[in-house]
Chains A and B, each alone.
Chain A
Amino acid sequence: MRDTSRAVPFLPSARAVFGLSLEGMLWSRRSLVLGGLLAIPVLIAIVYRLVLAARLPAEITGLHLYGYLVALFWVRNALPLAALFYATALIADEVEGRTLTYLLTRPVRRSAILAGKFAAYVVTTLCLSLPAAVVTFFVLATSRGVGLAGSVPDLFRDLGVLVLTLLVYGALFALMGVLMKRPLIPGLLFLFVWELIANLPGYMPRFTITAWLRSLVTHRPAGRGVSEMFGQVLPAGLSLVVLAVLTVAFLWLAIRIFSRREYVLDQ
């Protein structure tokens, strides 16, 4: 028989929190809205194949459109937004719903709670985004003027970048979620103001996440005007290392802060 005075080991408790959180995250209004947002490229791809292919300028092939959707839609906008809405709510939702007490009074370590919830966030967002990316790829890569086999390496690379995007932004926003009471506005400012630094010349883009992610996408859209002059491509190997370090650091900090913080729930 288990000693009830001691906390449940990390893995079993994280798995239990993961199962519970996944059920709540996948079947929620948030998932319905964000699932719709993340699937917009599928609609764009179908419209392109049915209507636009014959009307758009000839230089926009299916693969170019796919490249734009990966770099500008998913990596730059939709996935960071999904991460913001899910990851900041990992703990904030429990605080707002005044259910955090029930979690914290169970014999589970706080680190296991956040780890389980973060894993549920990752699985939820992957379930919403990866199928959309794969379907979009096949709809566009089988259009006129695109070689499917030649484009396959792009698909594998892009799926990897999408996973990294969700991990690194998820870890950052989980940290903001445990640090701040209302992290949405700072998160939006970070995404749509601070991240614009990625387009500046010099060393500054290295202080953004999007510059590192953008460097991993091979079919990045050609810049125009000023952004083309300044748009930097950072080394791919270094980008991977930086993103991995950032993810681990943000997540470790989030777990550390959540483990030590005292939550006073409003009555």
Chain B
Amino acid sequence: MKRSRLVVIAAASVVGLGLALALGALVLDPARAAVGPLPAEGLVLPADTRFVVGIDVQRFVQSPFYKKFASQGGRPKAFSELEQKTGFNPERDVDQVLIAGRPDKGQQAGLVIVRGRFDRYKLSQAIETGGRRVTQKKHEGNPLYIFNEGQAGASAIAFLGHDANLLAMGSQPAVEAAVTSHFQGAAPLKQNTALVGLLERVKPGSTFWMVGDQSLLSQMPSAVPAPGGSGGAQLQLPALKALMVTGELEPVLSLDVTGDAADAAGASQLADIVRGFVALASLQASQKPELKGLQNAVSVTTDQSSVRLSARVPYELLEALQPKKAAEASPVPGR
């Protein structure tokens, strides 16, 4: 065999083995996604969903951000109470949370799907004896707990399936629809091609992510005060058609926000506005040294009609940006 052929075979073997391993990791990954970062169970979300949020709870809980938050007494007391009553500890037992909704319908269209390990018996008992007005009924042969049934804003909670690892909660119609879709094997979210298109653009594997269409931003102001402007001068913000956010909490707080503007000019204008604010904040670094690292932490790029803001904020910088405690900031009266 020629020497060159040996080299080609060796190189092809390394590349082939690498690609096979990479494909294997992609296919066998337990958190394999159905659409972008969305797992298969998320496809039961309603077709008219306007935004979806996903949180990898285990990575969130293990992050320095949460550990610090918990050590400073930020851990909700309800967690301890819940664990005492049901043995269920959200920090330990929940793997993933998906939140979907429609801003124009408020809580009426909200739906939360939780993947984790639940003691179905204990949780059911806690719901039934929880003191709230709760009724139980069967929907598709699956127990459904409804709070304030028959009233406006009735909410519900249900296990999806017979194994106790999926829980759906939210407004009664949304939970009923999710149960129906789950048992009939339907995937209503796939009908929402716009949202599915946005989900496909989000890289899987983030600690938290969010996609939403323009309705998500309808409450946002359409203008902001011009930097350094006097007399109420304002900058018109170009309208965004869609928003995608992914974030990591380890080893630094990193956030990637992509906004789709109507056209390239709008994206460029928005990027300039954001850059302007970052530059302004950096200019203040002489007076506020804690802002020194801000410019290097944030970058803004445009890609056709999209604006992408990437922020990599070390925890030290985040801490420096927080307002100083009152005791440190204000002099003690009488001294």
Contacts and interface: CB of A to CB of B under 8 A. Distances in A.
Given A130-B15, A147-B205, A151-B205, A228 B300 contact: yes
A149 B312 CA distance: 22
A145 interface: yes
B294 to A, nearest CB: 13
A235 B304 CA distance: 7
Given A22-B4, A127-B11, A149-B204, A222 B251 contact: no
A131 B11 contact: yes
A185 to B, nearest CB: 30
Interface stretch (B23-31, B71-79, B119-127): B23-31
A149 B29 contact: yes
A130 B206 CA distance: 27
A8 B2 CA distance: 24
Interface residues of A, number: 43
A123 B8 contact: yes
A146 to B, nearest CB: 9
A11 interface: no
A134 B314 contact: no
Contact of A233 (B11, B23, B299, B303): B303
A233 B301 contact: yes
A229 interface: yes
Interface string A223-240: 110001101110100000
Interface in A213-267: 215, 220, 222-224, 228-229, 231-233, 235
Contacts of B203: 150, 153
A223 B8 contact: no
Given A127-B12, A155-B19, A224-B299, 18 more contacts: A23-B2, A23-B4, A26-B3, A26-B7, A58-B252, A59-B252, A131-B11, A134-B18, A138-B18, A149-B32, A152-B23, A222-B299, A228-B275, A228-B300, A232-B302, A233-B301, A233-B302, A233-B303
27 contacts: A26-B4, A57-B314, A58-B251, A58-B252, A59-B297, A59-B314, A61-B251, A127-B8, A127-B12, A128-B11, A131-B18, A135-B18, A138-B18, A144-B251, A148-B22, A149-B25, A150-B203, A150-B205, A151-B205, A153-B26, A153-B203, A155-B19, A220-B301, A228-B275, A231-B301, A232-B302, A233-B304
